[in-house]
Every structure is written in structure tokens, then in C-alpha cells.
Amino acid sequence: MIHPDTALRYINDEIGYGVFATAFIPKGTITYVKDELELEIPLDQLQEYPIQLQKQIEKYSYIDPFGNYVLSWDLGKYVNHCCFCNTMSTAYGFEIAIRDIEAGEEITDEYGLMNPQEPMMIQCHKVGCRLFVQKEDVHTYADQWDPVLKEVLLLIPRVNQPLMELIDIQTYSELNYFLNDPNQYKSIRNLELQKKC
Ligand SMILES: [Zn+2]
């Protein structure tokens, strides 16, 4: 589930829809939790769906480390990529605001953390845009992104967290483990799709 202070808006014909903050969302706010309503489709079962649905799954899902497409039941699936995103996935199964997000600002993500199977063209129109994302991004940028995430995760107890009650018990205990001892931080390298033996 995505943060409740969000709304879907049409941007333009090129980008389509995007998700916008309807209120100020401070840095350190959990902005997405993989809740119990999210649809999980194992990668190797995609072919069992009609082509039209396969296209929807591939367009709107992210891929978790365990080899599942995860398709959001709510606005979460419309969040666009930006190379200078304001939210980011963590290895704790939730996403977090990595900087303050003003009301009216678009909520953006880093698709490089979502295991794109093929290199994916992206156009965020920012100076320094990487132009495409690929599954290797998590390795390439982990040393750059982990310190950012580690810093904002420590803010979790200090800001309002409307999604906190959706976090499962195991994640909650892992998070508390980290909050009590920041050396126990779980790197985003854990988001990489695990190879099957
Ligand atoms: Zn870009």
C-alpha cells in the first residue's frame, strides 16, 4: 500500500500517469509497504496468463528478490522512475522518503532496485539521467545508495508513519534490530534477484 497522502494524476501523453503527494511527507516516512493484498506472481508462471494480462503484469509490477512479480492493488503501481528519486526501496520490504516531499510534488522511485529483467529505457529529463535502468544497477550503486537509506531509516521513529501497522512482525523486528544497532543495517544488495540453485 502506498502512503495515504497521495493521488493519481495524468501528467502528459509521453509519461502517462504519476503519483503526487497531497500533503507534506517528511524524509524518513515509509511511503510503501508490501502488504497482504499485493498480488505475487512467480516469474516462471507469467506465461500461464493471457498475453493482455502478461503485458499488464510486466508494465506495472516490480520483481522481488524471491522471483515474484509484485503487482500493487492501489496507486503504488503508477509511481514513475526518476534518477533523482525522492523515495527508494529498502531491503526491509518497504519504501521510504529519502528527502522531504512537498505537497503537490510527484513521488518517484528508483527502478534500478526492482530487478528489471531487460535494460529499460527511462526518461526523467533530469541533467545526469542514466537513460536506462538495468538489473546490475543495484550492484553498481549500492555503495552510493546504502548510506542514504541508512541515514533516513534512522529517522523512522521521529516522523509520523501511517503505514507502520502494515509492516509484518518479522520486518518490524528486523527494523528494530537496526534502530537499536545501526551496524545491523540490511543492504539493498539483498534486493537483487536470488539465483535459484
Ligand atoms: Zn533519469
Low-confidence ranges of the chain (pLDDT < 50): none
In 3-state terms, what secondary structure has residue 8? strand
Task: Give, for 62, the enclosing helix (H) or strand (E).
Answer: strand 61-63
pLDDT at 37: 96
Query: What distance in angstroms lies between residue 139's CA and the mean position of ligand 1's atoms?
Result: 18
Query: What distance in angstroms lies between residue 155's CA and the mean position of ligand 1's atoms?
Result: 27
> Model confidence over 174-190: pLDDT tens digits?
999 999 999 999 999 99
Query: What distance in angstroms lies between residue 148's CA and the mean position of ligand 1's atoms?
Result: 18
Query: What distance in angstroms lies between residue 132's CA and the mean position of ligand 1's atoms?
Result: 7
Query: What distance in angstroms lies between residue 28's CA and the mean position of ligand 1's atoms?
Result: 23
Compute the distance between CA of residue 160 and CA of residue 138 in angstroms, rounded to an integer. 29
pLDDT at 195: 76
Query: What distance in angstroms lies between residue 81's CA and the mean position of ligand 1's atoms?
Result: 7
pTM over 0.75: yes
Cell readout for 148 is: 542514504
Query: What distance in angstroms lies between residue 124's CA and the mean position of ligand 1's atoms?
Result: 4
CB within 8 Å of 148: residues ≥ 6 apart? 88, 98
pLDDT at 123: 82
pLDDT at 197: 53
pLDDT at 89: 98
Task: Give, for 98, the enclosing helix (H) or strand (E).
Answer: none
pLDDT at 132: 95
pLDDT at 87: 98
